[in-house]
Amino acid sequence: MFKKLPFILMTLTFVLVLAACGSKNDAGTEGSNNSTGETATELSGNILAVGSTALQPLVEQAGQKFMAVDEYKNVTVQVQGGGSGTGLTQVSDGQATIGNSDVFAEEKIDDAAKVSELKDHQVAVVAIAPVSNKDAGVQDLTKQQLIDIFSGKITNWKDVGGADQAIVIVNRPSSSGTRATFENFALGTKVEDIQGSIQEDSSGTVKKLVAETPGAIGYLALSYLDDSLQVLKYEGVEATVENVEAGTYPVWAYEHMYTKGDPDAATQAFLDYILSDEIQQNDVTELGYIPVSGMKVKRDAAGTVTQ
């Protein structure tokens, strides 16, 4: 009888392992639905926010502050990176409560039914400025000049009024949200990758390469700009918070936090908290984003700007 016991144990373990693999992972939303009917003081639940690495620092910082508020002490906020695509996939599949994204879901997900399930919450604005190496000798570029540079028609800075220096393009990968924003609103067209151009996904690396490589041009979010780079004006307009808010500087995009359908009470409280003055006036500006409340213009998924 004893001889059979080990085999039974082994089979049991095997079955358990398989069962564990099969069960759906819904830890992210577990419990949060229970709190809907309760009073605000007893809010509880787990919020899992996944996605955009550009938005991650803000959500992380806001999450820490949110959990420290007495009212919300039973709510846990977890933040993970992984990229906008991952965030949208996971929120759409119900694996994450919130999907952080740099772009509208329409631009990433082809399935219209899946997009219509998602609810968009715009929490901040990020503006992007073209930057060049300091030796390039150019301060201002027009839209057409930028198109010519990024599509490889102009390959020397002297053709746009700068030094006699070959242009090195430091681009983002074609799937990047920052690149999509730059192409949509600065160039107005998609450009192909030029042979010999450089592609980096991290803003830190882009900054380092543009600052050190003679003749380099790239683009960065406002929070990364400093004296090591030449920040280029776009059509004569400087990339400043005021110009973006007034709508005169066009190269900007929303940071989105998507939920699947209407958020539950705990998630709604967290989203409200991020949109509150407390976060918008302090953390958002501190981290280099532009408060969404200050924007005098609005933009929809198709790119149409309204006052």
Partner 1 sequence: MNNKLKPRRPLREKHYWEEWTGRIYTSICVVFLIVVMFSIVYFVASKGLSTFFQNGVSLREFLSGKTWNPTGEPAAYGALPFITGSFITTLLAALIASPLSLCAALFMTEIVPGKGKKILQPAIELLSGIPSVVYGFIGLSVIVPLLRSMFGGAGVGIAAGCLVLSVMILPTVTSIMADALSALPKGLRESSYALGATRWQTIYRVIIPTVLPALLTGIVLGMARAFGEALAVQMVIGNAPHVPTSLLESASTLTSVITLSMGNTTMGSVHNNALWSMALVLLVMTFVFVILVRLLERRNRV
In angstroms, what is the minimal distance from the CB of 184 to partner 1? 12
- Token pair for residue 194? 């030029």
Q: Applying CB under 8 A, which part among 8-16, 63-71, 153-161, 263-271 lies near partner 1?
A: 8-16
Helix, strand, or coil (residue 12) = helix
Work out which of 143, 158, 208, 233 binds partner 1, going by CB under 8 A: 208
Residue with tokens 């979010």: 221
**Count of residues of this chain found to bind partner 1 when the rule CB under 8 A is applied:** 47
Binds partner 1 (CB under 8 A): choice among 31, 82, 137, 152: 82
* Interface pick for partner 1 out of 120, 135, 159, 193 (rule CB under 8 A): 193
Residue 28 or 177 with smaller CB distance to partner 1: 177
Least distance between partner 1 and beta carbon 173 (Å): 5
DSSP 166: B
Nearer to partner 1, 10 or 305 (CB): 10
Locus of tokens 């930028």: 146
Q: Which of 194, 225, 237, 297 binds partner 1 (CB under 8 A)?
A: 194
Q: How far is CA 164 from CA 131, 196, 229, in A?
A: 18, 19, 18
Q: Which of 58, 88, 118, 231 binds partner 1 (CB under 8 A)?
A: 88
Backbone phi, then psi, for 254, in 5-degree steps? -80, 150
| CB-CB contact of 135 with 215 (8 Å) | yes
Q: Is 149 exposed, middle or buried (0-12, 13-18, 19+ CB in 10 A)?
A: buried
Alpha carbons 9 and 16: distance in angstroms, whole number:
11
**Structure tokens that stand for 256 in this block:** 């989105």
175 binding partner 1? (CB under 8 A): yes
14 binds partner 1 (CB under 8 A): yes
CB nearer to partner 1: pick between 200 and 245: 200
What's the longest Cα–Cα distance across the chain? Answer: 91
One of 46, 176, 203, 267 touching partner 1 (CB under 8 A): 176
Q: Are strands 98-101 and 252-260 parallel, antiparallel or unpaired?
A: antiparallel
Q: Are 207 and 220 in contact, with CB atoms under 8 Å apart?
A: yes
Of residues 23, 39, 41, 195, which one binds partner 1 by CB under 8 A?
A: 195
Q: Which is nearer to partner 1, 173 or 303 (CB)?
A: 173
| 163: its two tokens | 């030094």
207 binds partner 1 (CB under 8 A): no
Residue nearer to partner 1 on the CB measure, 109 or 141? 109
The answer to the question of residue 25 lying near partner 1 (CB under 8 A) is: no
Q: Which among 70, 72, 68 is positioned nearest to 268, based on CA atoms?
A: 72
Residues 90, 50 contacting (CB under 8 angstroms): yes
235 lies in the site for partner 1, by CB under 8 A? no
| Of residues 176 and 280, the one with the C-beta less far from partner 1 | 176
Note the residues at the interface with partner 1 (CB under 8 A): 2, 5-6, 9-10, 13-14, 17, 21, 53, 81-86, 88-89, 92-93, 108-110, 168, 173-177, 190, 192-201, 205, 208-209, 212-214, 216
